[in-house]
Amino acid sequence: MIKYATIGTSFIAEQFVTGANATGKLELAAVYSRKYDTGTAFAKKFNCDKIYTSLDDLANDCEIDAVYVASPNVFHAKQSELLLNAGKHVICEKSITTSASEYKRLKTLADGKGLIYLEAIIPIYNPSRERIKTALKEIGDIAMAKIDYCQRSSRYDRFISGEHVNIFDMSLHAGTLMDLGVYCVYAAVDLFGTPNNIKASASFLKGGADGSGVAIFEYDNFSACLTYSKTGQSVAPTEIVGDSGSVIMETAVYYQDAYLIKNGEKTPLYDNVIKETLMGCEAEAFCDFISGARLGEYRQNSEICFNVHSCMDIIKQKANITYK
């Protein structure tokens, strides 16, 4: 049983712990929060009685094998580095770092210490992923792809009324590309590889956050259009069009609700599972990597992670996305 701690007490952290508990391979042994009362309330939900308000104390706890990091993006690299140097395996919420070079530096640190350093990204560990990749081989030569994740933030009204909202605070390395666009980039890089060229633009909100964006990934014989927004809600699916059929994903962010359409027939490609279960899949992979199993998969996914963040760097540069 791997004993782990969480950094962060948000809803996403709660979903991860729920999924991790279901694996039977992880035990929540400690919770870190800047506020003791907040940490206590979170830990109580999962019968955990060890609360930290000091990251150094958490890092020095020899009973903790691994840490799930779900703090604001700006803290990911610093906190992960502290934990890796303390000998802890780290699974960090997306976006794992704010640059590919930063990811590479920390991955090298982890490798040197024999530790796992993993981005928590749901679709890569969805059981439907391989079915989608198999289906792409059945649609012939790809003609074009549309990859979409436009989800109006539940906190957008608070933001436009003048309230401070973390997800639109660029001093926290937030914004739409880092929160939602990263899923689109993952889908493109995972399914098609690294593009030959990238074009990108963004629309900006008061304060400098990117509220929506478009990126065009150019491959040898087709282009993929990536669209993402936190200010408007899309109802259009992701679609990969080939000269012999199409693959459609209603929920591209998780590789969910996917279908192969060929010769007039619509074939489901997914198991309909809830988000906590999907987060359990990534938690189980994390455990397997720590145990030494599935290391070929870990190396492949680490390469995808680096390529994704290399593409993200280009999008930021071309769309003039900057952090304070």
Q: How far apart are CA 176 and CA 178, in angstroms?
A: 5
Predicted pLDDT of residue 324: 84
Q: How far apart are CA 321 and CA 174, in angstroms?
A: 10
Give phi and psi for 48, each to the nearest 5: -105, 135
Element (H, E) at 297: helix 295-319
274's CB contacts (< 8 A; 6+ apart) are: none
Q: How far apart are CA 11 and CA 23, in angstroms?
A: 19
Predicted pLDDT of residue 179: 95
Q: Does the CA dihedral 58-55-73-11 come out positive or negative?
A: positive
User: Could you state, in chain order, the average pLDDT of each consecutive group of 10 residues for the chain (324 residues)?
Assistant: 96 94 95 96 96 97 98 97 98 97 98 98 92 96 97 95 94 96 97 98 96 98 97 94 96 85 92 83 97 96 98 98 92
| Domains within the chain, CATH numbers bracketed | 2-120 (3.40.50.720), 125-272+306-319 (3.30.360.10)
Q: How far apart are CA 130 and CA 298, in angstroms?
A: 16
**pTM score:** 0.96
**Helix 182-192 to helix 295-319 angle, to the nearest 10 degrees?**
120
Predicted pLDDT of residue 181: 97
Helices (H), 97-251: 100-112, 129-136, 156-160, 176, 182-192
Q: Does the CA dihedral 92-258-313-210 come out positive or negative?
A: negative
Predicted pLDDT of residue 248: 95
What is the Cβ-side half-sphere exposure of residue 152, based on CA atoms within 13 angstroms?
9
Q: How far apart are CA 29 and CA 20, in angstroms?
A: 12
> Do residues 200 and 319 lie in contact, with contact meaning Cβ atoms separated by under 8 Å?
yes
Predicted pLDDT of residue 276: 86
Predicted pLDDT of residue 256: 85
